[in-house]
Amino acid sequence: DAGVTQSPTHLIKTRGQQVTLRCSPKSGHDTVSWYQQALGQGPQFIFQYYEEEERQRGNFPDRFSGHQFPNYSSELNVNALLLGDSALYLCASSFGAGGFEQYFGPGTRLTVT
């Protein structure tokens, strides 16, 4: 049973560029949530996708956008990268719109220079 997978593992981008991160949920899960984890901090909720729609959103600017595909996989896009966007980006999957048990992937380490 495959867990949550994310790609790429690491990424280095230049300020102002755009980045796309990818996530495949755990088998049987249909909901994907994205989190940003700065060094030494707890994860911060970005948004959640269910049935290919953004269902909930945290306090992140519109530069952060996402998409969910019919196979439940998801992408996180960040435009106009800032140095402060450097962080570990985590994807978590769960079952159903009210699924509380969220399982996290290993994350994508994004460095903006």
Partner 1 sequence: QQQVKQSPQSLIVQKGGISIINCAYENTAFDYFPWYQQFPGKGPALLIAIRPDVSEKKEGRFTISFNKSAKQFSLHIMDSQPGDSATYFCAANGEDDKIIFGKGTRLHILP
Binding site for partner 1 (CB under 8 A): 4, 33, 35, 40-45, 48, 55-56, 58, 90, 92, 94, 97-107
Q: How far is it, in rounded angstroms, from Cα 113 to Cα 110?
A: 10
Pick from 5, 15, 7: which is nearest to 92 by CA?
5
Residue type, 79: N
Q: How far is it, in rounded angstroms, from Cα 17 to Cα 109?
A: 16
Q: How many CB atoms lie within 10 A of CB 1?
A: 5
Q: Which is nearer to partner 1, 14 or 89 (CB)?
A: 89
Q: Which is nearer to partner 1, 56 or 77 (CB)?
A: 56
Least distance (Å) between residue 100 CB and partner 1 = 4
Q: Which is nearer to partner 1, 55 or 67 (CB)?
A: 55
Reported residue count of the chain is 113
Q: Which is nearer to partner 1, 78 or 91 (CB)?
A: 91
Least distance (Å) between residue 67 CB and partner 1 = 19
Least distance (Å) between residue 38 CB and partner 1 = 11
H-run or E-run covering 80: none
